[in-house]
Amino acid sequence: MSLPVTAWRSVLPHLGYDLPPDLTPTTTSGPVATGLPLELVRQSVSSKEWWDIPEPVAEQYRRYRPAPLWRARAFEAAIDAKVPVYVKYEGGNISGSHKVNTALAQAYYYKRAGIKEVVTGTGAGQWGTALAAACAAFGLSCVVFMVGGSLRDKPYRGSLMRLLGATVHASPSGLTEVGRGNAASANTLALAIGEAVEYAREGEGRAFCIGSGENYSILHQSVIGLEAAAQLDEIDARIDTVIGSVGAGSNFGGVALPFLARHRAGETAEQPTLLAVESTATPKLTRGVYAYDWTDATGTGPMEAMYSIGSSYAIPASHSAGLRFHGAAKLLSAMRHHGEIEATAVGQREALEAGRRFALSELVLPAPESGHALAAAAAVATGADAHHRSRHGVLVCVSGHGLLDLSAYDQLLAGQVQDLAADDRAVELATARLRPVGSDLPTGVR
pTM assigned to the model: 0.94
Which CATH class, in words, describes the domain spanning 64-95+216-423?
alpha beta
For residues 147-182, one letter each, b for 16 or more C-beta atoms within 10 angstroms of the residue's C-beta and e for the rest, the string is bbbbbebbeebbebbeebebebbbbbbebbebbeeb
Cα–Cα distance between 101 and 99 in angstroms, integer? 5
Q: State yes or no: pLDDT of 322 exceeds 70.
A: yes
Cis omega (within 30 of 0) on the bond before 172? yes
- Tell me the pLDDT tens digit for each residue of 53-106: 999 999 999 999 999 999 999 999 999 999 999 999 999 999 999 999 999 999
Cα–Cα distance between 71 and 264 in angstroms, integer? 26
In sequence order, what are the beta bridge partners of 146? 122, 170
Confidence band (pLDDT; 50, 70, 90) for 290?
very high
- Tell me the pLDDT tens digit for each residue of 367-405: 999 999 999 999 999 999 999 999 999 999 999 999 999
- Tell me the pLDDT tens digit for each residue of 163-179: 999 999 999 999 999 88
pLDDT at 186: 61
pLDDT at 315: 82
Bridge-based pairing state of the strands 273-279 and 141-147: unpaired
What is the mean predicted confidence (pLDDT) over 348-359? 97
List Cα–Cα distances, 8 to 105, 112, 187, 247, 295, in angstroms: 11, 19, 34, 21, 25
Bridge-based pairing state of the strands 303-308 and 50-52: unpaired
Domain ranges of the chain: 64-95+216-423, 100-211
Asked if domains 64-95+216-423 and 100-211 share a fold, the reply is: yes
Cα–Cα distance between 399 and 251 in angstroms, integer? 7
CATH architecture classification, 100-211: 3-Layer(aba) Sandwich (3.40)
Cα–Cα distance between 134 and 414 in angstroms, integer? 37
